[in-house]
Amino acid sequence: MSALPYTRFELLRTLRNRRFFILSLAFPVILYFLIAGPQRTNHDLLGSGISAPLYYMVGMVAFGTMSAMLSSGARIATERAAGWTRQLRISPLSPRAYFRAKVLTAYLMALLSMAVLYVCGASLGVHLPASQWLRMTAMIVIGLAPFAALGILLGHLLTPDSIGPALGGGVALLAFVGGTWFPLTTHSVLYDVARYIPSYWLVQASHVALGGKAWDAKGWLVVAGWTLVLAALARRAYRRDTARL
């Protein structure tokens, strides 16, 4: 059975949720203008070879889209608490279709967050050929895959009360380690650690905009590895969660 109409209502609900606007849209937009605004003429941010408006645009996109992807966890946690997950389990909607709807909704919200920040970036002088916008977007979409799984995992592990702080703190930490706030200096401990964290590779997608390669083999491996591990854990958490009910 097609889950498309279901996804449509799911999307409508999410768009009406104030939380989403604050974390995934308003917050990154405000931060972007606060941080990148004063440095709009900096064409080589801390030796990264990337202009400040472009670097921070992608950094804030990473922040906003991570929030958007993980917010599916908040929705799952509240649906579980409300008994809605049980109600769905006695409908013909399969678990697979249920998760497809969740992931699709999360991605659409992430794309919205991305589009808004691209407009902000353009207003600070980010100019790229269409093909590079598209390539960068594609890299970010791929880089978000581990976060789709992480959102579902957390949604089945945490309660509605604990998931808010967990997501807020988690996204801030992931963004910091990923280099959202400033480019990480090579040969530092943080850099060495960050290269194993998927948020780092998300931010690295901005290299594509300069015509370079976003990820080396390690990047692909880290993103694929986290996606597989988190998806397996999410599956286990879902099974354990629903078996107990």
Partner 1 sequence: MHGGGKLLGPSSAIEARSLSKRYGSIEAVRGIDLDVAAGETVALLGPNGAGKSTTIDMVLGLSQPDGGAVSVFGGPPAEAIGGGLVGAMLQSGALIRDLSVRELIAMVASLYPQPLEVQDAMALTGLDEFASQRTQKLSGGQTQRVRFAVALVSNPRLLILDEPTVAMDVEGRRSFWQTMRELASRGKTILFATHYLEEADAYADRAVLMASGRIVADGPTTQIKAMVGARTIRATLPAAGLAELAELPGVSAADRHGQAIVLSCSDSDAAIRALLERFPEARDIEIAAAGLEEAFLELTAAESS
Residue-wise burial string across 10-24, b where 16 or more C-beta atoms lie within 10 A, e elsewhere: bbeebeebeebeebb
Of 90 and 217, which has the nearer Cβ to partner 1?
Answer: 90
Q: Is 16 in the site for partner 1 (CB under 8 A)?
A: yes
Candidates 79, 77, 73; CA nearest to 103 is: 73
- Select from 21, 29, 42, 78 the one that contacts partner 1 (CB under 8 A): 78
Question: If binding is defined by CB under 8 A, does position 71 make contact with partner 1?
Answer: no
Residue choice 44, 49, 89, 239 for contact with partner 1 (CB under 8 A) = 89
If the CB atoms of residues 13 and 213 are measured against partner 1, the closer one turns out to be 13
Nearest-angstrom CA–CA distance, 146 and 166: 17
Our finding on whether 129 is near partner 1 (CB under 8 A) is no
- The separation between the first and the last C-alpha atoms of the chain, rounded to the nearest angstrom, is 24
Report the half-sphere exposure of 20 (CA within 13 A, side-chain side): 25
Tell me which residue has tokens 């202009």.
51
Q: Residues 38, 49, 83, 212: which binds partner 1 (CB under 8 A)?
A: 83
Q: Is 39 in the site for partner 1 (CB under 8 A)?
A: no
Instruction: Using CB under 8 A, list all residues that contact partner 1.
Output: 1, 5-6, 9-10, 12-14, 16-17, 78-79, 81-84, 86-94, 245
